[in-house]
Structure 1
Amino acid sequence: MKHLFYLFLIIAFTSCNINSNLMFKNIDNSDIVVKDSIPMTPEESYRMSVNDRFSFELYPQDGEQIVENTGQTQLSTKSLDYTIRPDGKAELPVIGDVHLAGLTIEACEDTLEYYFSFTHQNPFVQVKVLNKRVIVFPGNGGEAKVVNLINENTTLMEVLAMAGGIAERGKAKSIKILRAVEDHREVYEIDLSTIDGLAYTDMVIQANDYIYIAPTKEITRGVLREVTPLIGIITSSLAIITIFSKL
């Protein structure tokens, strides 16, 4: 009986470590989690930010060579990429430092066309952001993945597929999307465990979103994992004490 009491104490002591890796738990009566009015498409275009890497192509004459295929070469290549520094500027050939942080891609193209107009006739610029990505936690610890958004308007279902789907422990009914909005992150909670969840599979994912799939709690396995080594130590200690007590 005494041994059972000690075992109960061990389990109670170690249980605080079980499932301690779970993240983003809901706070009671929290108003930061949005379950209704989830935006299916971006409310505004992506804005370039500090540390973004991008490339651009520059064509003269409003890009007429793209349409007419005149054989001229563009004045810049995709192989070159540039980074927006902490001051919000990027150093570009010919025109030097240009402030780009906070601009949409369209506004960035207009800005570069303006600056290059001083050195080239009727420039046409195409900009591509190279590091648009999201972080996906599929539901198993230690399996987080960074997914690059190669295409515009990439959907939630596409991102989950690129991340390998929902993990074995993942709860399809508890998927959180944490999105940067101004100076905070809004949390959208989605349930894909039923057919009704199809309404949200086409939700457009934005760069820098976090997608967190809550894992199923492992109570029994967690207790065994925590308690087994201690039981082994106690059993060995009791065996040694018993042996010496008989000497």
Structure 2
Amino acid sequence: MIRTMITGLACLALTGCGAVYSSSSVPRDAPGVRVLSLTADSVLTANSTPYVPRALPAVFEANAGAGSDLGAPGAVPPAALSRPVRPGPLALDAPPAVRSGSYAIGIGDVLLLATRSDGSTAAELSGLLAAANRRQGYTVRSDGAIAIPDIGRVPVAGLTLEGAEDALFQALVANNIDPTFSLEVAEFNSGRVSVGGAVANPTVVPVALTELTLDAALAGAGGVSTGNLDFALIRIYRDGRLYRIPIADYLSRPALQKTVLIAGDSVFVGEEFDLDRAQAYFSEQIQRAGLQAAQRSQALAELTTEVGLRRAALDETRGNFQDRFALDAVERDYVYLTGEVRMPSRFPLPFGRQATLADALFESGGFESKTANPGQIYVLRAAADSAEPGAVIAWHLDARNAVMFTVATRMQMRPGDVIFVAEQLITRWNRSISQLVPQVIAAGNAAN
């Protein structure tokens, strides 16, 4: 029996009778095929083939709040800053002293950002540098943030100048931009003190970095302008309380002249009997402040609605793309794996970045360690530089030395590449035997 099997096996092997096992290989002498060794130097040549990875749709880069601009608070009715007429008995009731602190940036303030003027900064901070060169500031919008090109919205309302610098520094670093800059408040519009009544020029005086004193506020309004100083007084309305400083006391006591005013104060110069006009003036200031607050609340509500609609639109568009992606309806670039790999398949090249031979090979489970020949790993690529139709370059990676796998991590894949892992000689022999033995047994049985 054994003699019959050996005889049949020899017959099949020598004469080709029956099915003979054959396997794929990369012939080195085939026309149109160039086999090139893949090394640390030649991988640079392999990677020189131009390829731009497919990009994700722009909707994945969009920001729901990008481009939102609340604008400055709307216009309010002009103030009726008028002059009063005559007197009554006077009493001093000065406002309490307030502790000075660092200026807090508020809505309506204009911040001026200055950056370095060297070439590299001009390239990286073009938007910021242009604004600085034009002396163009950034207005604190109704949502408490400033909108800066290439960075986005940076919340600064309620922060000191130092706190705003820290917030801007973090925003620049987060966007990989050189954080070399200086920041200053160019216009103080958030904190104001209104001055009206018997003054030369009724006005609104901004509260700036330094303390605003009563004499400075009156000077900003052109000074007191009343014909009877003996019966004139200064009324200060603050947080629902009305304070009184007679002009005579004001002129004779320097400490009263240096009374510190805070944002939201209203100052009215008039005569004692003219309380009704003072009350009308303060009521008007309160109404104006309420109207501005209502406008800001409305603007914030509109912004919230707008951002919500934008976010919903972005989510819907992204969801549609992901559904098409799941149904394989999105155009992709692929690399194909065959031979002694764990899972012959196609590997989709990723969006927005390069993929390497190691990515494609090991994403699919790698190769079969028992049957694959690590010395025969090939990347088959159409030869774009050849005039011969169908010419192929076979980049050969000999990974019997495990160090050579580092080259696989640098070998970039191109659309249509085929990764082929050849089998070992013993694998080919075993598979040949596994096909031949059943035929030999069948032939032996037939002979008996």
Common fold: TM-score over 0.5: yes
Letter in 2 for 1:56: P
Q: Which runs of 5+ in 1 are unaligned?
A: 49-53, 84-128, 240-247
The residue matched to 1:187 in structure 2 has which SS?
strand
Gap change, CA 1:7 and 1:202, over 3 Å in 2: closer
Query: Are 2:53 and 2:354, in contact at CA under 8 Å, matched by a contact in 1?
Result: no
Query: Are 1:177 and 1:212, in contact at CA under 8 Å, matched by a contact in 2?
Result: yes
Letter in 2 for 1:161: F
What is the Cα deviation at residue 164 of structure 1?
Answer: 0.3
Work out the CA distance in 1 between the residues paired with 2:46 and 2:444.
58
What is the Cα deviation at residue 40 of structure 1?
Answer: 5.4
Work out the CA distance in 1 between the residues paired with 2:381 and 2:152.
42
What is the Cα deviation at residue 134 of structure 1?
Answer: 0.8
Gap change, CA 1:6 and 1:45, over 3 Å in 2: closer
Look up the match of 2:58.
57
Residue in structure 2 matching 1:211, options 419, 423, 430: 419
Gap change, CA 1:180 and 1:67, over 3 Å in 2: farther
Look up the match of 2:368.
167
Look up the match of 1:33.
35
Instruction: Please state if 1:17 is matched with 2:219.
Output: no
Work out the CA distance in 1 between the residues paired with 2:331 and 2:32.
36
Work out the CA distance in 2 between the residues paired with 1:193 and 1:64.
56
CA RMSD, 1 decimal: 3.8
Work out the CA distance in 2 between the residues paired with 1:2 and 1:194.
43
Pairing of 1:163-242 with structure 2 (within 5 A): 163-168=364-369, 169-182=371-384, 184=390, 185-197=392-404, 198-217=406-425, 218-239=427-448
What is the Cα deviation at residue 231 of structure 1?
Answer: 2.3
Work out the CA distance in 2 between the residues paired with 1:41 and 1:145.
23
Letter in 1 for 2:23: N
Letter in 2 for 1:21: S
The residue matched to 2:411 in structure 1 has which SS?
coil
Instruction: Please state if 1:44 is matched with 2:50.
Output: yes
Equivalenced residue count is 184
Look up the match of 1:144.
344
Query: Are 1:138 and 1:144, in contact at CA under 8 Å, matched by a contact in 2?
Result: yes
Query: Are 1:42 and 1:204, in contact at CA under 8 Å, matched by a contact in 2?
Result: no
Letter in 2 for 1:33: V
The residue matched to 1:167 in structure 2 has which SS?
coil
Look up the match of 2:357.
156
Pairing of 1:63-82 with structure 2 (within 5 A): 64=67, 68=152, 71=307, 72=310, 77-78=317-318, 79-80=320-321
Identity %: 14
Letter in 2 for 1:228: V
Query: Are 2:335 and 2:348, in contact at CA under 8 Å, matched by a contact in 1?
Result: yes
What is the Cα deviation at residue 190 of structure 1?
Answer: 1.2
Work out the CA distance in 1 between the residues paired with 2:36 and 2:336.
20
Query: Are 1:40 and 1:202, in contact at CA under 8 Å, matched by a contact in 2?
Result: no
Instruction: Using structure 1 for the length normalisation, give the TM-score.
Output: 0.58
Letter in 1 for 2:443: I
Higher Rg of the two aligned structures: 2
Task: String of CA shifts for 1:1-29, please: whole Å, max 9, x gaps.
Answer: 984545421232259722x1314333279
The residue matched to 1:44 in structure 2 has which SS?
coil
Look up the match of 1:108.
none
Letter in 1 for 2:436: V
Gap change, CA 1:133 and 1:200, over 3 Å in 2: same
Query: Are 2:343 and 2:364, in contact at CA under 8 Å, matched by a contact in 1?
Result: no
Query: Are 1:35 and 1:190, in contact at CA under 8 Å, matched by a contact in 2?
Result: yes
Gap change, CA 1:156 and 1:55, over 3 Å in 2: closer
Residue in structure 2 matching 1:133, options 311, 334, 343: 334
Work out the CA distance in 2 between the residues paired with 1:29 and 1:155.
28
Query: Are 1:133 and 1:147, in contact at CA under 8 Å, matched by a contact in 2?
Result: yes
What is the Cα deviation at residue 219 of structure 1?
Answer: 4.3
What is the Cα deviation at residue 178 of structure 1?
Answer: 1.4
Gap change, CA 1:154 and 1:17, over 3 Å in 2: same
What is the Cα deviation at residue 223 of structure 1?
Answer: 3.6
Gap change, CA 1:46 and 1:134, over 3 Å in 2: same
Query: Are 1:46 and 1:207, in contact at CA under 8 Å, matched by a contact in 2?
Result: no
Work out the CA distance in 1 between the residues paired with 2:420 and 2:331.
23
Look up the match of 2:291.
none
The residue matched to 2:438 in structure 1 has which SS?
helix
